[in-house]
Amino acid sequence: MSTWYKLDSAEVLQQLDTNADRGLSEAEVTDRLKKYGFNELTEEPRENLWQILWKQLTATMVVVLIVAALISIALRDYINAGAIFAIVAFNAILGVRQEYQAGQAIAALKKLAVSTVKVHRDDRLQEISARELVPGDIVLLETGNLASADYRLLESSNLQIQESSLTGESEPTDKNAQTLISALPKTEPPLADRHNMAYMGTVITYGRGLAVVTETGNDTELGHVATAIQTVQPKPTPLQHRLDQLGVRMAIVTMFLVFAIFGLGLLRGEELSLMFLTAVSLAVAAIPEGLPAVVTITLALGAQRMLRQHALIRKLPAVETLGSVTVICSDKTGTLTENRMTATFLAMADHRVDLTSPEHRAALNTYTDPSRLLPSPLLQEQPELAWLLTGGVLCNDALLEPEPDRPHEFHAVGDPTEGALVMTAARLGLWKEKLEQVLPRVAEEPFDAGCKRMTTVHTLPPIATPMPKALELVVSECVRFGDISHIAFTKGSVGSLLEISTQVWVNGKPEAIDAHWQQKIREENDQLAKNGMRVLGIAFRPFTSLNIDADETISDRRETLEQNLIFIGMVGMIDPVRHEAKEAVQMCREAGIRPVMITGDHPLTAQAIARELGIVPNDSILTGQELSNLSKQALQEQVEDISIYARVSPQNKLDIVQALQKRGHIVAMTGDGVNDAPALKQADIGIAMGITGTDVAKEAADMVLLDDNFATIVAATREGRMIYDNIRKFIKYTLTGNAGELWVILLAPFFGLPLPLIPLQILWINLLADGLLALALSVEPSERKIMRRLPRPPDESIFGRGVGRGIIWIGLLLGLVLLAIAYRYWSSEQASWQTMVFTTLALSRMGMAETMRSDRDSLFRIGLLSNKPLLGAVLLTFGLQMSVIYIPILQTLFQTTPLSAIDLFICFALSTVVFGAIELEKWLIRRKIKGDSIEPI
């Protein structure tokens, strides 16, 4: 049963057959352990190392490479065979390592769930391992405890539980065992709204309570997450899918070429052994065996660059996947915002101060020296604000601590909301430590979730007491009431304070709260809430004399202190958006990527943040409760129009990602909690938070943001696009050159020519061009306006966007150039005719490598020095080619003849034909796209 929250405590105890006072007996525990099993998360059997290795070795492209290596061995080309086997082994080891690490998410979950717990058994309190908990156990809850199973609360006292790991909500949740069933909505509420429940994996941050265990192990909400992680089958990345397609096509083309060239040669009258070697050599040359190495090196270099930008890549294919992303689903807290509650608005009856405005932001002290306590210019101009801030600081348990390595900077310790009050007051010159020395706390009533208030009582100093200027502003307000000994400050929800306030502070004096003031204060509160702020009201009550009776009950003491209050005003707080996140969202839009906010926070807060960031042009929003009532088909129909999701559950997040994927999107999903793990694993690219993220989220993710910053995702997306561009350039370059070789060999027999290239020359070109030159393309810098282009379609072929067309027509042009030089020199019976073909091909491949560095920009614009490794590879390749032509021992090996200066010049001239054709094509492309605001795909 997952609806224990709907039952009152007596019904829960009855159904679980347990007693709140005595607990279970040892005999009952033994029986229930047999029935329910231990309170631990079980996992499905995972693939062993051999199974993972076999999967790596049976990938289509790898099989083609293994066949190519075996053929190389048959040709006694042991160097080429060794290189191919090394590439296969390297990729297999890397793949096995990645998959093994990726399976550790459940282990992290199990660690999270292990703890000890205090239970009532056999009418006595015992401390046992959480693994031994069973449904019906009565558990004692204390501050700092980890909830070790799912509980229904039986008793609670100021109980607060941090549930962000499950719900995504940044604030601790108030818990109340006495929540009325009628207060619960008729439809099933999200976890965050089940205030009489506590769930495995959450932390008790305040108060105490008593609870009964309702679910254990895999039946808990955390267990459901674990099950969801195991059932999610990650899809191959777009790059893996495209490379598999390429492998199949290359295998088919290679087999066709082997039979075609072998048959044509025999018909031409060539020797059987020569034609076999030629056909097989061409088949090996046609396969881009350097591709896996280029992909691995390109991804690894991209991962290193991303690490410098605070993005840690756990799985290399994820680097490229980022470049394919069409939707980024991002959490709000800490990613789009600073994860730092900040007071941004002060409201009194006669004052409104927006602390984010330029004039007031400038008035805030960075940090005044706490020993001097100088008031900020803002407080000097409006001293009444000091009264509001003093109430918020004194009725507060948060503290300021100096940064360890920056003693003049401070951070708040305690509740984030209270910390925001203390920090803001300090920036205005009111330091809590000094305030408490002048107005010491003598009594307090801690925050109560039922009435949503907290009260502290302070004694007043003698009027003549010397004090810093900032505190004079505060004490001068107290003097207005004449001879008073104590003052009580109350902080809480505005509605709660209005119920017990009889006056409002106006122009330095109290006025009766009438209907006008009630309406005005409530409207102000509602407006701040609509702007996504968390609003706290501050009130006070002066006492001419006050005796605190230690024996008085909490309720009686609270009734004494919390009546006839004077309402001072309100403080609006918000987790401010990251400045760089605004720019990143705008860049996403320019790049054709849709940002989507998925958060556990309140809908109004989500809307306000999304509006400020520019995530959506309208305020369309879907809550988790509404989403749960939609069918999968209905969600798929709406998912294109909704960019804000609030109050979501773990299943909701998974449903959103799946719906987007069904619509054909490549989805990136960020998350930091246990609740995010299934969606992170389901997404095409799962992104965990490095600072606030749980181990579970990090293990399930493909990438970890070390700075929890949305802008880092966009920077990584840029890297992903660049990496995919470079892989496409490699494929286009190597297959175009190989196509040129194939065309000249296929067409030569039709012109009566013998074989233009011998097998060893083919393999030599393959080694230089597909090795040195092609690898240097993997470090090509990104092209201009790379983030002004729309994402490529998820189902796009690797030959799309002109790559296949270029391979055919440029390859054919190169083949015709080579055929022309071969026929001209062979028909004039010059012994150097094959060397001319060999050299023209080598020089053409060098020029192609340089001009194919960009799909649009001319080489003369980007410059030779912008890719120095490629320039070095070109110079080295040129030197090696000249060695083959002019060194006698190599002439014998490669059957070449030395070329005259004129012949060498002709080779240079002919090699520029293909270079010029590619540059002309790019010039036509630039003319076509000139003036476009967004680059075409």
Which CATH code fits 4-43+109-223?
2.70.150.10
Residue 553's pLDDT is 47
One of 3.10.110.10, 3.30.390.30, 3.40.1110.10, 3.20.20.70 is the CATH number of 346-545, namely 3.40.1110.10
| Per-residue pLDDT reduced to its tens digit, 366-410 | 444 455 555 677 777 777 788 899 899 999 888 888 777 666 677
Q: Name 706's Cβ contacts closer than 8 Å, sequence gap at least 6.
A: 310, 311, 312, 690, 691, 712
Between β-strands 703-705 and 311-313, what pairing exists: parallel, antiparallel or unpaired? antiparallel
Residue 346's pLDDT is 92
pLDDT greater at residue 914 or residue 532 = 914
**117-131, 233-247, 694-708: least confidently modelled range:** 233-247
Residue 311's pLDDT is 81
Helix (H, G, I), strand (E, B) or coil at 708: coil
How large is the average pLDDT for residues 67-80? 69
Query: Is residue 141 over pLDDT 60?
Result: yes
CATH 3.40.50.1000 applies to domain 311-337+578-708: yes
Find which of 70-79, 188-197, 489-498, 610-619 is predicted with most confidence, using mean pLDDT: 489-498
H or E element, residue 914: helix 901-929
pLDDT greater at residue 898 or residue 935 = 898
| pLDDT classification of 814: cutoffs 50, 70, 90 | very high
Q: Name 3's Cβ contacts closer than 8 Å, sequence gap at least 6.
A: 188
Give the integer Cα–Cα distance in Å for 528 and 719.
40
**311-315, 420-424, 491-495, 644-648: least confidently modelled range:** 311-315
Residue 813's pLDDT is 94
**Over pLDDT 90: what percentage of the chain?**
15
Question: For the chain, what is the mean pLDDT?
Answer: 79
How large is the average pLDDT for residues 473-493? 76
Query: Is residue 840 over pLDDT 90?
Result: yes
Residue 451's pLDDT is 77
Residue 878: burial class (beta carbons within 10 Å; 0-12, 13-18, 19+): middle
| pLDDT classification of 98: cutoffs 50, 70, 90 | very low
Two structure tokens written together for 387: 């009264």
Two structure tokens written together for 744: 């000249």
| Per-residue pLDDT reduced to its tens digit, 586-603 | 888 888 888 998 887 778
| Per-residue pLDDT reduced to its tens digit, 600-622 | 777 877 888 888 888 876 667 88
Q: How many CB atoms lie within 10 A of CB 1?
A: 12
| pLDDT classification of 878: cutoffs 50, 70, 90 | very high
Query: Is residue 571 over pLDDT 90?
Result: yes
Are 737 and 257 contacting, i.e. CB atoms less than 8 angstroms apart?
no
Q: How many CB atoms lie within 10 A of CB 926?
A: 13
Phi and psi for 41 in degrees, rounded to 5? -90, 120
Query: Is residue 861 over pLDDT 50?
Result: yes
Helix (H, G, I), strand (E, B) or coil at 543: strand
Query: Is residue 712 over pLDDT 90?
Result: no
Q: How many CB atoms lie within 10 A of CB 912?
A: 15
How large is the average pLDDT for residues 648-675? 84
For the chain, the residue count is: 937
Two structure tokens written together for 70: 């075996």
pLDDT greater at residue 578 or residue 361 = 578
Determine the topology of domain 238-307+716-929 in CATH. Answer: Calcium-transporting ATPase, transmembrane domain (1.20.1110)
Helix (H, G, I), strand (E, B) or coil at 71: helix
Are 166 and 222 contacting, i.e. CB atoms less than 8 angstroms apart?
yes
Between β-strands 342-348 and 565-574, what pairing exists: parallel, antiparallel or unpaired? antiparallel
Select from 333, 16, 331, 6 the least CA-distant residue to 149: 16
Find which of 715-724, 798-807, 820-829 is predicted with most confidence, using mean pLDDT: 820-829
Signed CA dihedral, 829, 835, 841, 847: sign only: negative
pTM equals: 0.67
Residue 105's pLDDT is 42
Give the integer Cα–Cα distance in Å for 307 and 574.
31
Q: Name 789's Cβ contacts closer than 8 Å, sequence gap at least 6.
A: 591, 592, 721, 934, 935, 936, 937
Residue 463's pLDDT is 61
Are 754 and 269 contacting, i.e. CB atoms less than 8 angstroms apart?
no
> Long-range contacts for 457-461 (Cβ within 8 Å, ≥24 apart)?
457/486, 457/487, 457/488, 457/546, 457/548, 457/561, 458/394, 458/486, 458/487, 458/488, 458/489, 459/485, 459/486, 460/484, 460/485, 460/486, 460/487
Residue 367's pLDDT is 46
How large is the average pLDDT for residues 480-497? 84
Catalytic residue among 150, 331, 655, 708: 331
Query: Is residue 505 over pLDDT 80?
Result: yes
Residue 103's pLDDT is 46
Give the integer Cα–Cα distance in Å for 542 and 502.
13
- DSSP string for residues in 803-863: HHHHHHHHHHHHHHHHHHHHHHHHHTT-TTHHHHHHHHHHHHHHHHHHHTT-SSS-HHHH-
Two structure tokens written together for 361: 């932001």
Query: Is residue 232 over pLDDT 70?
Result: no
Helix (H, G, I), strand (E, B) or coil at 136: coil
Two structure tokens written together for 121: 């058994």
Q: Is 514 a catalytic residue?
A: no
pLDDT greater at residue 416 or residue 834 = 834
Distance of CA 842 to the CA centre of its chain: 45
Two structure tokens written together for 789: 């282009």
How large is the average pLDDT for residues 480-492? 81
Residue 366's pLDDT is 47
| Per-residue pLDDT reduced to its tens digit, 318-327 | 777 777 888 9
- Degrees to nearest 5, angle at CA 718 with 712 and 721: 140
